[in-house]
Amino acid sequence: MRSVVWIISMCLVALSCAAERPYVWANDVPQEAARQVTIRPGDRIFVLVSGQPTMTGEYIVSADGTVIQPVLGRIPVVNMSPDEVSRQVTARLKGMLVEPHVTVSVTTPRRPEINVVGEVSRPGHFQVDPGAGVLEAIARAGGLTEFADTEGIFVLRETPARMRVRFRFEDLTGGDAKSAAFELHDGDVVVVE
């Protein structure tokens, strides 16, 4: 009977451990390759159609993920790379121009937006500068409260792959270069336990 109770209790312990969400420590996150730029609502893009000044211009990507070009009308661009948009515009111009040549670039990207929740003085939604790290996000939220777990700081990221990255506060303040250099992406959530 004792062995049955022991086996059941061990199974319950194993199940409770499996229920915890897995994470990776910040210094174990692989070095990010150069991220491909994708266009987001609020970005400013420049569309250059060679030899066609009336078709060339700078556009702000609307909330619905499109830009309105005077000749072509509404063009969907969100979550596409500038090269993908160039190919799309080129294809649409083929019936109007002989061998159109189109170049698209992001001139002013929208600032990344993140959320900071948990044991910080002012949790909330913040815009940060490109390249901002976890320490800047915590500072924007007024710093840690006295109840914060300094070894329980996480970044939850959905794209390009879902991940949960763990940090220690002492690593962020200079103890670990990789933790301090970790860059936040648009849509990240910083959680302080």
pLDDT reading at 37 higher than 80:
no
For range 15-38, the mean pLDDT:
64
Q: What is the mean pLDDT of the chain?
A: 86
* 139-169 tens-digit pLDDT: 999 999 999 999 999 999 987 778 899 999 9
pLDDT reading at 6 higher than 50:
no
* 95-154 tens-digit pLDDT: 899 999 999 999 999 999 999 999 999 999 999 998 899 999 999 999 999 999 999 999
Distance CA(47)–CA(57), nearest Å, equals 6
For range 82-104, the mean pLDDT:
94
The better pLDDT of the pair 121, 15 is held by 121
Q: What percent of the chain has pLDDT over 70?
A: 85
Q: Sketch out the chain's domains with CATH numbers.
A: 44-108 (3.30.1950.10), 111-193 (3.10.560.10)
Q: In this structure, what token pair is assigned to residue 111?
A: 């600032």
- The SS3 assignment for 185 reads coil
Q: Which of 157, 160, 148 is nearest to 120 (CA)?
A: 148
Residue carrying the six token digits 């006295």: 146
Task: Kindly list the distances between the CA atom of residue 111 and the CA atoms of 33, 55, 61, 70, 125, in Å, as whole numbers in the listed order.
Answer: 20, 27, 13, 27, 13
Residue carrying the six token digits 């420049």: 46
At 8 the pLDDT is 46
For range 50-54, the mean pLDDT:
93
